[in-house]
Structure 1
Amino acid sequence: MRLRSGIEPLYERYLRRQVRHVPRHIAVIQDGNRRYAQKQGVNTSIGHRMGADTTERVLNWAQELGVQQITLYTFSTENFRRDESELEALFTLFKEKFRAILDDERVKKNHIRVRMIGDRSLLPADLLEAIDAAEEATRQYSNYFINVAIAYGGRNEIVHAARSILEKVRQGAIDPDTIDPATVERHLNRGALIPPVDLIIRTGNDYRTSNFLPWLANGHESAVYFCAPYWPAFRKIDLLRAMRVFDQRMRLKERTAG
């Protein structure tokens, strides 16, 4: 353990020197909280809280490394199938984290805007109230962005965008002949104008993107990094390794373009 603690900072610096191209927007599928809890012999709710602690660290690392936007796949539409006690614990945790944003000096100092993406109609009123308060408190900030995907499903997102566009066509606000990819992007995520994803990270040793940001990630051919650690065990080294994958992809583009 002592040897590892001495080597890791050196390896972090080595990895950092290898990353010349920093992704503007990273999307993270935070997988493995429940399996990590089981492995540690603790309650699932504790696993989720450990995962939330990791999220705090990763957000700090991302900002330190120059990442402007990070989108966190926190809770999918499929997750509503989980048992009632787990859902209640998760929603309580989400409320705590959104309410904490109101007094977080890091948010104010670094001008971090917090936004939710997902289907708000599926969430309980008290959680929506906490989300709305955090969004309103950070609305004027634009240095960094944290997008929290809750009650999110990629296909559902596109369906809602299509409905919004069709309604504007019906009202005469949009000419059907002018609809293009940019039109769709303007109507995703309630018009939040989230930029294309440069890099997707998935933890937990599962090799799929799980219907996450299909338009902004898959549609823009983002780099993808799959790794074995469960989300609570995710380290800065893992983040830098993922960024190195993006950097390698960008260098390849430069060579082929030349």
Structure 2
Amino acid sequence: MKLPKHLAIIMDGNGRWARQRGLNRIEGHKIGARTAEEVTRWCADLGIKYLTLYAFSTENWKRPEEEVQFLFQLMVNYLKSRLNLLIDESIRISFLGRIEELPEETRSFCRFLENKTAQCDRLHLIIALNYGGRSEIVDATRKILNKGLKHVDDNVIQENLYLPDLPDPDLIIRTSGEQRLSNFLLWQSSYSELYFTNTLWPDFSREELEKALEEYSKRKRRYGAVISDEE
């Protein structure tokens, strides 16, 4: 089966999952974190080299302050408790977004985790945190202007993105039934294959992942080129 080199996932549905069970949204986030860990392990086992998870968008600041604080603390505590396992599994972690705007404890931990896992090479896990696709393009434009560059093309913009060496996602999965990108990897997703599932993120299983990968393997990626009718 043809696998994507870079898989990106919009992890949606934690709140709805909790609400359906009469639980606080925070409980949904806890289970969602466990699902993210499992999906990371499955991708590493399958041989996928890059996995990007949309953890916190620039728009998520509009959520209740208590929930926002919990999300950051959950991420720090969860990854801190898994650090040795991440290194043993050779999983490298990078963060994508306006990391400098995060609370100081979160920001410091992000940099610490990136440094500790920098030599890992089995799977590169990218966590999109305080991320927005439009913000990334704006920030890239500011970098270009600050450099005083006069000629701008696709390559120049690419070189000034948050993680310029990250390959574009081959496949983007969104859970919970919503069918939109929600400001996720707007520059990088020009020719990404999209897969939508009604499954809420906490319920996302290995079977659901393999179903998405099977669907991806059947698609012909044309990148805008004209292909003969025989194909």
2:201 to 204, 210, 231: 231
What is the identity, as a one-letter code, of the residue corresponding to 1:46? E
Q: Distance in 2 between matches of 1:163 and 1:232?
A: 37
Q: Give the TM-score of the pair, scaled to structure 1.
A: 0.83
Residues 44 and 122 in structure 2, CA contact (< 8 A), matched pair in contact too: no
Length, aligned pairs only: 227
Report Cα offsets for 1:149-178 as digits up to 9, x if no partner. 011110000111111112122xxxx5x33x
Aligned to 1:16: none
Q: Give the TM-score of the pair, scaled to structure 2.
A: 0.92
Residues 71 and 146 in structure 1, CA contact (< 8 A), matched pair in contact too: yes
Q: Does 1:41 align with 2:13?
A: no
Q: Which has the higher helix share?
A: 1
Structure 2: runs of 5 or more not aligned: none
Q: Counterpart of 2:219 in 1: which secondary structure?
A: helix
Q: How does 1:59-208 map to 2 (within 5 A)?
A: 59-104=40-85, 107-169=86-148, 174=149, 176-177=150-151, 179-189=152-162, 191-208=163-180
CA drift at 1:30:
0.3
What is the identity, as a one-letter code, of the residue corresponding to 1:151? N
Deviates more, 1:108-117 or 1:207-216: 108-117
Moved over 4 A (4+): none
Identity of aligned residues (%): 36
Q: Counterpart of 1:42 in 2: which secondary structure?
A: coil
Residues 158 and 164 in structure 2, CA contact (< 8 A), matched pair in contact too: no
Cα distance change on mapping 1:252 and 1:122 into 2, 3 Å:
closer
Structure 1: runs of 5 or more not aligned: 1-19
